[in-house]
Structure 1
Amino acid sequence: VIIYRLHQETDEVNSSVRTSIKGVTYTNNRVWDPAEYAIPIQASLINSFFVMTNIIKTENQREQRCPEYPFAKAICSSDNSCEKGRADIHSHGIQTGKCVSYNGTVKTCEVKAWCPVESMENPPKPAVLSSSEDFTVLIKNNIQFPKFNYTVLNIPPNLNTSCTYNKVTSPLCPIFRLGYILQEAKENFSEMAVKGGIIAIEINWDCNLDSWFYDCSPKYSFRRLDDKKISPGFHFRHARYYKLQQWAEERTLFKVFGIRFDVLVFGRGRKFNVIELIKNIGSMISYFGLVGAAIDIGIRVRNFASCSKSPLYKIYNQKKYETVLDPLQVMYVSYVDDPHVTLIKKPLKTSLQYAQGSIVESHPVKACDADSYSTSESEENHDNEEPGRVQTSKFNVERDYEAYHMVQPFRQDASSPGCQEWCCCGECQPTQKYHEQLCCRRKKGQCITTSIWFQQLVLSSQTLKKALLYKDPFLDLTDSNVNNRLRHLAYKKYVHWRFGSFDLEDRAVVPSCCRWRIRNTYPKAVNHYSGFEME
């Protein structure tokens, strides 16, 4: 925020520029001062000034007839080659229709023009005013930031008028030596003075207007604007007119070459603003969302390139996406001989024991002591004495198959004579309801209710009572309703033990053998249980 100044509001600079050129030289038997080489016509260009460096002069021109300068379309051999009234784009006047001698070897079409016509020769080399590189220019630059009502001038209050700009020793001096300007623009003044050119003087105002970090001073830079390879240079023509005797008019034509300096002012003012700070911080925070999108794209591209789903991609998908199902339309079952929790969708067309489902997730069993089990006054769906709450949560069920082994070895002949077809442990009770036809096992073996861990973790009266008192230290355990509390808590503990999470308790189905073992241990006064509610 501080580095990029996002705590400040900004305003663009408004500016005006004035220039004053100084310097005198003597060349070609003539004194050249600013009135001679600083051509006023160029002052019409906004924030620009022009310094003449070279000149081609055609003197004593009068409006009359004379031979055209010999260029391709002006050269002739007879009058038939010249068309009366014709004016070529390169000609100096209007053809009269006559072919006349230009010199002893060349004939050209006669024209009515200012004669003698201008020569098309190259400019003098070296330049007439090559010494103008020692001239100086004072640049006065006033700027304003309207939004902040702030105005400043590039001239320091204690300006030494004898100074000249140097980016190291005098970076704030507004007086510039022309040769130094071209040097900083990486140009040779003597070469450029022959045909002229265009140089930019850039003034950059980057102002911090906060009083505690105030900084507002110009920074100057220089560069060439015209192309050095394609039609380089800068020139124009102007004339000085005279009245002779008999009111005849005569003129001197100047083809002037020189350097045009364009002063380009730009910049920005900044000042602290609370609203701007809040707005930019909010924008920055929104960009953090792009980080997640970039990571997501990177993982997907890598997985696509590998042509097979990597373990990282599978874990990423499991953590990122949550399958939302109607909790009333699903049930969860867990078997002692199966390391997975299985999701079964309704409606059931056969016994729950045989219903096909999908694996939720493989996980290690969560172990905790009795005091860590929270209790609730809400009734379990297994008894339906009070409707339990319905939750939609992200299923994070973890179990470890090896922890399922009991202290006592399983008996393969555990089935009793009255065993149901769907029961594999021999301890289940008969029922006609498909959703209650569930055993603790998938294959024949010993019932989980005979395990010492079932006794200690699920049925132990001491453990259950500790858990009840942990939540309510003043609970009356001699109450006639205590069996209901113990039974409901036993259901919860079984779910937490076998399913690994309380998140599934509302839709987890307790096997028939376990359910009846809990009911027989903590029975109701009236032997009537409604069982697991489907809706």
Structure 2
Amino acid sequence: MTLTLADCFDYSTKKEVRIQSVPLGILKQCITFGVIVFVCFSLITQKRYQKKDSIISSVHTKVKGFADAHSRIWDTAEYTVPSPGGDSFFVITNIVKTEGQMQSNCSELPSQKTICSRDDICKKGLADPQSNGIQTGRCINFNNTLKTCEVSAWCPVESQTTPVPAVLESAENFTVLIKNNIHFAAFNFTKKNILPNYNVSCIYDRVKAPLCPIFRLGDILREAGENFSQVAVLGGVIGIEINWDCDLDPLRYKCEPHYGFRRLDDTVVDESLYPGLNFRFARYYKNAHGTETRTLIKAYGIRFDIQVYGTGGQFNLLELALFIGSCLSYFGCASFAIDFIIGRYNSCCCNAKSVLKYYDDRKYETIPGPSVSLAHLKAHLKFVSFVDKEDILMVDQKLKGSLQLASGPYIQRERFADTKAKCKDSHKQDENEMRLIKGRSAMLPPAWCKCNKCINTTHLEEQLCCRLEEGECITDTKMFNSLVLNRESLEYAFQYDNPLSKTPISKEHLRYYAKQKYVEWRFGCRKYMLNFAVIPNCCKTAIETCNLQTEGP
């Protein structure tokens, strides 16, 4: 078959079956309406018509406040430790101070590993990460009743007593100013959380002043569900969340920060092993004798981590088109649900007269599947029609013997009332049929022949008879001679295909159209069968040896 340019440029559409049913129609409309409501809800609430862009942010903080504790005034420089990253800050709330430390030998703090009664218990050179120095191998008095191992360290060693309440418990009244600048690169939009006309004396309140950038530390912990006095003893980590959900459309413009607070450290698991949050630092100096001395400070405090996130959106026609295109597939839910209901018919267990079978037969066409790989299907596919068999045999396997003996699935024939009535007589064996068999030539037909008119051949594909069981050959019927061997109808078929041809009609032309007539007669007008239909040996012989005379009175 020649491939033309028109074959490459065509359009195919699905064939649908319209079922006139009120219940199914109502079900379809309900599902369709539900999909429309869902699409509209998503379009409006999630603003799917907008192009989205992630936020770019920078944060700067300033903590202010004074406290009077331990006979001294604490200002910002003493209790605030800025983070190198800039998105967090640390406020000292409690301290353990060890003054006058010098490098020498002294007794270690009592513990299970350091309490001793003689020198051989202490291991010289042992540097336990949990201790304050390196053991010298001596056991010395820690106090009047207890001995511990001597260590070489900064002496005296650090005290383990944590002040309660916290030294800087009043730090809850300190305030912090958070400066947050954001930028959406896709829209070239920049904004900051400090409004041009903001009140410098305001304090953030969720209800009264939700946009104020100045926060009281005690209020931050209260919003996070914590008590400042309790957290201040051992320290902790608090998150300050700034959410920017910006609508940059001119008619619905809105871009304001929303603040949230929560505790980040796990007080259930971490507190049992590593309670709170603390670090150590030292201040060095030299005493009157010129000896290097330091003051060790163990600082407990609260770290505030500022987390900025959000998106900006602006109307975009392409995003709207993509959203609508993706939602069109949801309208197929109605067809899927109805097809599922109708498709519950099973020909193995349901009554052949049931309503579901009627719908199933109208909507679906059942065909047998290939028994070989699709790559070899075309090379081996053949369709065979026997005159004494209602349906058409499909052979899709490589022949291992005569085509007459090949097996495969059967496909229902396209029947017409007049043709079916004329062909019924060919299924009966009468006395004329028996006399015809007995009067055949003494030459024995091939073993696979059932009509006694086939010629022996070595080609397996040509070893095919018109019948499955012994009986009259189809070439002896009036229908065969009228449809296949009628010269007038064959010439008409040639002129129909070649109306302007001046070429004389040859026997080759007539034989070609005779074979085509036979295939159309026995296999119907199914295009997928015509190219793979096999003409029986007896019929092919009759066509090639017949003079193709015109029938007349």
Q: In 2, Cα distance between the equivalents of 1:402 and 1:172?
A: 92
Partner of 2:387: 336
Q: CA separation of 1:479/1:106 partners in 2, compared to 1, >3 Å: closer, same or farther?
A: closer
CA contact (8 A) 1:330 1:343 kept: yes
CA contact (8 A) 1:96 1:112 kept: yes
How does 1:389-404 map onto structure 2 within 5 Å? Answer: none
CA contact (8 A) 2:53 2:184 kept: no
CA contact (8 A) 1:487 1:519 kept: no
2:96 to 26, 41, 56: 56
Q: In 2, Cα distance between the equivalents of 1:117 and 1:57?
A: 11
What displacement does 1:345 show?
9.0
Partner of 2:338: none
Q: Extract unaligned runs of 5+ from structure 1.
A: 284-311, 371-399, 525-535
**Aligned residue identity for 2:522:** R
Partner of 1:133: 172
Aligned: 1:496 with 2:496: no
Number of residue pairs matched by the alignment: 452
Q: In 2, Cα distance between the equivalents of 1:403 and 1:58?
A: 119
Partner of 2:304: 261
Q: In 2, Cα distance between the equivalents of 1:269 and 1:195?
A: 40
Partner of 1:232: 275
Q: Deviations over 1:362-404 (max 9, x none)?
A: 111124699xxxxxxxxxxxxxxxxxxxxxxxxxxxxx99996
2:444 to 418, 421, 424: 421
Q: In 2, Cα distance between the equivalents of 1:100 and 1:113?
A: 15
Partner of 1:22: 64
Give 3-state SS (helix, strand or coil) of 1:359's partner. coil
Q: In 1, Cα distance between the equivalents of 2:117 and 2:150?
A: 12
Give 3-state SS (helix, strand or coil) of 1:256's partner. strand
RMSD: 5.9
Q: In 2, Cα distance between the equivalents of 1:437 and 1:64?
A: 111
Q: In 1, Cα distance between the equivalents of 2:170 and 2:255?
A: 35
Q: CA separation of 1:334/1:77 partners in 2, compared to 1, >3 Å: closer, same or farther?
A: closer
1:411 to 410, 419, 430: 430
Q: In 1, Cα distance between the equivalents of 2:137 and 2:243?
A: 59
Partner of 1:363: 411
CA contact (8 A) 1:484 1:522 kept: no
CA contact (8 A) 1:85 1:95 kept: yes
Q: In 1, Cα distance between the equivalents of 2:197 and 2:517?
A: 88
Q: CA separation of 1:467/1:169 partners in 2, compared to 1, >3 Å: closer, same or farther?
A: farther
Give 3-state SS (helix, strand or coil) of 2:89's partner. strand
Normalised by the size of structure 2, how large is the TM-score? Answer: 0.59
Q: Percent identity?
A: 42
Normalised by the size of structure 1, how large is the TM-score? Answer: 0.60
Q: In 2, Cα distance between the equivalents of 1:212 and 1:519?
A: 88
How does 1:293-372 map onto structure 2 within 5 Å? Answer: 317-318=369-370, 322=374, 324=376, 333-338=384-389, 339-341=391-393, 343=395, 355=403, 357-367=405-415
Q: Deviations over 1:213-234 (max 9, x none)?
A: 9776656554414633331212
CA contact (8 A) 2:93 2:233 kept: yes
What displacement does 1:265 show?
4.6
CA contact (8 A) 2:284 2:293 kept: yes
CA contact (8 A) 1:342 1:358 kept: no
Aligned: 1:441 with 2:467: yes
- Which stretch of the first structure deviates more once superposed, 185-194 or 143-152? 143-152
Q: Which has the higher helix share?
A: 2
Give 3-state SS (helix, strand or coil) of 1:124's partner. coil
What displacement does 1:261 show?
1.9
Q: In 2, Cα distance between the equivalents of 1:494 and 1:70?
A: 111
**Aligned residue identity for 1:196:** G
Q: In 2, Cα distance between the equivalents of 1:104 and 1:137?
A: 49
Q: In 2, Cα distance between the equivalents of 1:320 and 1:211?
A: 64
How does 1:170-319 map onto structure 2 within 5 Å? Answer: 172-183=211-222, 185-203=224-242, 220-221=259-260, 222-225=262-265, 227-239=270-282, 253-265=296-308, 317-318=369-370
Q: In 1, Cα distance between the equivalents of 2:536 and 2:103?
A: 123
What displacement does 1:493 show?
3.0
What displacement does 1:196 show?
0.7
Q: In 2, Cα distance between the equivalents of 1:517 and 1:471?
A: 20
Give 3-state SS (helix, strand or coil) of 1:199's partner. strand
Aligned: 1:155 with 2:194: yes
Give 3-state SS (helix, strand or coil) of 2:271's partner. coil
Give 3-state SS (helix, strand or coil) of 1:176's partner. strand
Q: Deviations over 1:149-190 (max 9, x none)?
A: 654433344545414163x77665433343444355554433
What displacement does 1:48 show?
2.4
